[in-house]
């Protein structure tokens, strides 16, 4: 009688990650590129965390607000997910992102 394997078991056996883990990794690398070359990404960073007259603030103090841009919420969520898996790597990524003054919202992650 044939016995099947779960997706998790197959990925473990083949030493491959899930699609969601691969996408998370790519987004983390994207945030790192944003921080490495902030002048190349100033419009995206401003859209994510800047203040636009007449619109709700993107940040609630130093955290993404409930009405924040979905990309800002996604960046925050990505760092939290990485922190659950590898706190040292998440902290290093947040420190790297923090080097860019436009990415100041990552201060809050460093405080957690």
pLDDT of residue 36: 76
Angular region, 2: left φ>0, alpha ψ -120 to 50, beta rest: beta
Tens-place pLDDT, residues 52-98: 777 777 777 767 888 888 888 888 888 888 778 777 777 776 676 66
Distance CA 76, CA 15 (A): 28
Half-sphere exposure of 21 (CA within 13 A, CB side): 9
pLDDT of residue 103: 58
């Amino acid at each position: 009688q044939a016995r099947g394997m779960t997706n998790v078991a197959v990925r473990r056996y083949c030493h491959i990650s899930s699609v969601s883990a691969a996408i998370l990794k790519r987004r983390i690398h994207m945030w790192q590129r944003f921080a490495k070359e902030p002048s190349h990404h100033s419009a995206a960073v401003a859209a994510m965390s800047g203040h636009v007259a007449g619109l709700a603030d993107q940040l609630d103090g130093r955290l993404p607000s409930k009405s924040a841009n979905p990309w800002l919420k996604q960046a925050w969520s990505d760092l939290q997910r990485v922190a659950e898996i590898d706190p040292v790597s998440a902290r290093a990524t947040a420190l790297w992102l923090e080097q860019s003054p436009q990415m100041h919202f990552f201060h809050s992650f460093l405080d957690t």
